[in-house]
């Protein structure tokens, strides 16, 4: 029997000793510094590698041209760079781009680039699927598979930043967490991604240009206020009467409007920043005066504004966009009470890229 002299090749995901390699972007800069010291390398190399990983977003150690071959080899033996891949890209007639993004384990999430005259907005996902079961949302039907890691959120922004440059010759200006998932149920990773997006070592995008949209989990809103976050908050309200809100958003059962209101008061007290309420008006569900009055009252709790969002059908007969008259009634009443309300027309409807339509159809 011949014995091969060649060492057993390392399998792609396995490192020294056959152990699973770690995703290098799970390491903080300090961890990377410690790794370099432990392996007799100069500490400043950690900073250089960190820059390649985040600011320059390289997906391969061999692209780190100012790092020696031996050091790159050392990194390859211990780590992988897990990265996303834009699997398919669809373009709407209105310019909106929807990406189906493949994660390192093969799961898919969607992200959207929304161009307007003065902005390019990235709408990113925070979870694969969603656990919240809002009755009008297509993502709810996917169920939650897992949370996204900070780098997977960050990479969605990078991919859209590159598309903004390539297809529009303009910079990415805004980021909204309005894709798949509930960002406040993946709080630590979302905050860590935002830290990278806003930091000089990352994309250096101002937190004023970032909006986190949530169903309104009260205790997490309190946590955000305590953490003195600097980004904007949007709450998907859709109704200000408990009974109706619970019937379309089951989270309202355990997290009723009274608790949400208390959390929002705390948010405003701590941050002094207005909240935006997202609100769809549906035929026969919330298009009567009682619902309008309830919203006006809720809006007076703290300084706020309202985005009246157009309903994007998700093949369910239960929900139908309300009449123009009903929407005008909302606008008039809010206006009379000094509350700013804007009607938001959908973008990317033809490619199922609009709010609530992200469901991995492709
Ligand atoms: N979980 C977060 C973010 C994802 S949903 C949240 O709920 O805010 C982003 C926005 O799209 C939310 O305001 C949501 O209520 C809205 N939305 C969901 N389905 C929709 C649909 N079919 N038509 C219009 N808006 C929808």
Each residue's pLDDT tens digit, 25-43:
999 999 999 999 999 999 9
CA of 8 to the centre of ligand 1 (A): 51
Each residue's pLDDT tens digit, 318-343:
899 999 999 999 999 999 999 999 99
Each residue's pLDDT tens digit, 134-147:
999 988 888 888 99
CA of 236 to the centre of ligand 1 (A): 7
> How many structural domains does the chain have?
2
CA of 151 to the centre of ligand 1 (A): 23
Helices (H) and strands (E) in the chain, counts: 11, 14
Each residue's pLDDT tens digit, 339-348:
999 998 878 8
Q: Whole-angstrom Cα distance, residue 110 to residue 126?
A: 10
Indicate whether residue 358 lines ligand 1 (CB < 6 A).
no
Residue nearest to atom 24 of ligand 1 (CA): 311
Which domain range does residue 291 map to?
A: 85-351
pLDDT of residue 303: 98
Instruction: Note whether 24 and 116 are same-domain residues.
Output: no
Q: Which atom of ligand 1 is nearest to the CA of 130?
A: 1
What are 133's two structure tokens?
Answer: 């079961």
Instruction: Note whether 301 and 322 are same-domain residues.
Output: yes
Tell me if 5 is assigned to some domain. Answer: no
Instruction: Note whether 344 and 310 are same-domain residues.
Output: yes
| Domain's final residue, options 80, 114, 133 | 80
pLDDT > 70: what percent of the chain?
Answer: 93
pLDDT of residue 18: 63
pLDDT of residue 4: 35
Question: What CATH number does the domain containing 45 carry?
Answer: 1.10.150.530
Q: Whole-angstrom Cα distance, residue 24 to residue 43?
A: 16
Instruction: Return the closest-CA partner of residue 177 out of 141, 219, 252, 229.
Output: 229
CA of 136 to the centre of ligand 1 (A): 8
Q: Whole-angstrom Cα distance, residue 235 to residue 217?
A: 9
Torsion of CA 255, 257, 260, 261, to 10 degrees: -160
Contact status, residue 348 vs residue 303, Cβ threshold 8 Å: no
Tell me if 356 is assigned to some domain. Answer: no
Please report which confidence band the pLDDT of residue 3 belongs to, taking 50, 70 and 90 as the band edges: very low
279 has pLDDT over 70:
yes
Tell me if 10 is assigned to some domain. Answer: no
Could you give the residue ranges of the DSSP H alpha helices within the chain?
29-38, 44-53, 69-78, 150-163, 187-198, 218-226, 242-248, 251-254, 257-271, 289-299, 324-336
8 has pLDDT over 50:
no
CA angle 331/335/336 to nearest 5° reads 120
Instruction: Note whether 103 and 72 are same-domain residues.
Output: no
Report, as an integer, the average pLDDT of 266-293: 97
- Indicate the burial class of 48 (C-beta count within 10 angstroms; 0-12, 13-18, 19 or more): middle
Instruction: Note whether 28 and 127 are same-domain residues.
Output: no
Tell me if 162 is assigned to some domain. Answer: yes
Tell me if 6 is assigned to some domain. Answer: no
Instruction: Note whether 175 and 132 are same-domain residues.
Output: yes
Q: Are strands 127-128 and 120-123 parallel, antiparallel or unpaired?
A: unpaired
Contacts of 343 (CB under 8 A, 6+ apart): 308, 310, 327, 331
Contacts of 11 (CB under 8 A, 6+ apart): none
| Domain's final residue, options 80, 95, 129 | 80
254 has pLDDT over 80:
yes
Instruction: Note whether 21 and 160 are same-domain residues.
Output: no
Instruction: Note whether 47 and 96 are same-domain residues.
Output: no
Q: What is the mean pLDDT of the chain?
A: 92
Indicate whether residue 218 lines ligand 1 (CB < 6 A).
no
8 or 125, greater pLDDT = 125
pLDDT of residue 357: 72
277 has pLDDT over 60:
yes
Q: What is the DSSP string of 207-257?
A: GGGEEEEES--HHHHHHHHHTT--SEEEEE-S-SSHHHHHHH-THHHHS-H
Instruction: Note whether 192 and 278 are same-domain residues.
Output: yes
What are 160's two structure tokens?
Answer: 């859209």
Longest CA pairwise span in the chain (Å)? 91
Tell me if 236 is assigned to some domain. Answer: yes
Tell me if 227 is assigned to some domain. Answer: yes
Question: What CATH number does the domain containing 292 carry?
Answer: 3.20.20.70
pLDDT of residue 6: 37
Instruction: Note whether 221 and 321 are same-domain residues.
Output: yes
356 or 123, greater pLDDT = 123
pTM of the full structure: 0.91
Residue nearest to atom 15 of ligand 1 (CA): 236
Each residue's pLDDT tens digit, 86-98:
999 999 999 999 9
Which residues does the annotation mark as catalytic? 110, 355
Indicate whether residue 307 lines ligand 1 (CB < 6 A).
no
Please report which confidence band the pLDDT of residue 354 belongs to, taking 50, 70 and 90 as the band edges: confident
Residue nearest to atom 17 of ligand 1 (CA): 356
Please report which confidence band the pLDDT of residue 9 belongs to, taking 50, 70 and 90 as the band edges: very low
Helix axes 150-163, 187-198, angle to 10 degrees: 40
| Domain's final residue, options 80, 101, 133 | 80
What's the Cα-to-Cα distance from 320 to each of 188, 197, 310, rounded to whole Å? 36, 37, 10
166 has pLDDT over 70:
yes
CA of 322 to the centre of ligand 1 (A): 17
- Indicate the burial class of 93 (C-beta count within 10 angstroms; 0-12, 13-18, 19 or more): exposed
Q: Whole-angstrom Cα distance, residue 211 to residue 265?
A: 19
Contact status, residue 294 vs residue 256, Cβ threshold 8 Å: no
Tell me if 158 is assigned to some domain. Answer: yes
Instruction: Note whether 268 and 326 are same-domain residues.
Output: yes
Instruction: Note whether 65 and 136 are same-domain residues.
Output: no
Pocket test of ligand 1: the residue of 127, 309, 314, 344 to mutate, having most ligand atoms within 8 Å of its CB, is 309
């Amino acid at each position: 029997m011949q014995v091969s002299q060649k060492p057993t090749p390392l399998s792609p995901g396995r490192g020294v000793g056959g152990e699973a390699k770690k995703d290098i972007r799970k390491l903080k800069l300090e961890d990377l510094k410690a790794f370099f010291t432990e392996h007799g390398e100069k500490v400043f190399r950690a900073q250089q590698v960190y820059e390649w990983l985040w600011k320059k977003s390289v997906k391969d150690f061999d692209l780190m041209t100012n790092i020696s071959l031996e050091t790159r080899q050392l990194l390859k033996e211990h780590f992988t760079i897990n990265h996303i891949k834009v699997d398919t890209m669809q373009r709407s007639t209105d310019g909106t781009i929807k990406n189906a993004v493949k994660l390192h384990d093969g799961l898919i999430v969607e992200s959207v680039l929304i161009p307007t005259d003065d902005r390019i907005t990235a709408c990113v996902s925070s979870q694969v699927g969603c656990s919240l079961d809002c009755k009008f949302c297509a993502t709810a039907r996917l169920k939650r598979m897992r949370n996204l890691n900070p780098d997977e959120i960050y990479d969605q922004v990078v991919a859209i930043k590159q598309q903004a440059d390539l297809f529009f010759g303009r910079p990415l200006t805004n980021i909204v967490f309005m894709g798949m998932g509930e960002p406040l149920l993946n709080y630590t990773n979302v905050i860590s991604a935002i830290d990278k997006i806003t930091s000089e070592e990352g994309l250096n995008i101002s937190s004023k240009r970032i909006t986190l949209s949530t169903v309104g989990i009260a205790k997490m809103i309190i946590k955000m206020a305590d953490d003195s976050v600097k980004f904007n908050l949007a709450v998907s309200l859709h109704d200000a009467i408990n009974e109706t809100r619970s019937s379309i958003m089951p989270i309202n059962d355990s997290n009723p409007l009274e608790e949400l209101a208390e959390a929002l008061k705390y948010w405003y007290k701590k941050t002094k920043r207005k909240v935006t309420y997202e609100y769809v008006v549906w035929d026969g569900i919330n298009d009567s005066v009682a619902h309008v009055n309830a919203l006006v009252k809720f809006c007076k709790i703290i300084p706020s504004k309202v985005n009246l969002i157009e309903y994007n059908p998700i093949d369910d007969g239960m929900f139908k966009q309300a009449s123009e008259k009903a929407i005008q009634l909302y606008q008039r009443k809010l206006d009379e009470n000094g509350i700013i309300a804007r009607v938001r027309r959908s973008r990317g409807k033809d490619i199922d890229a609009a709010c609530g339509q992200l469901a991995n159809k492709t």
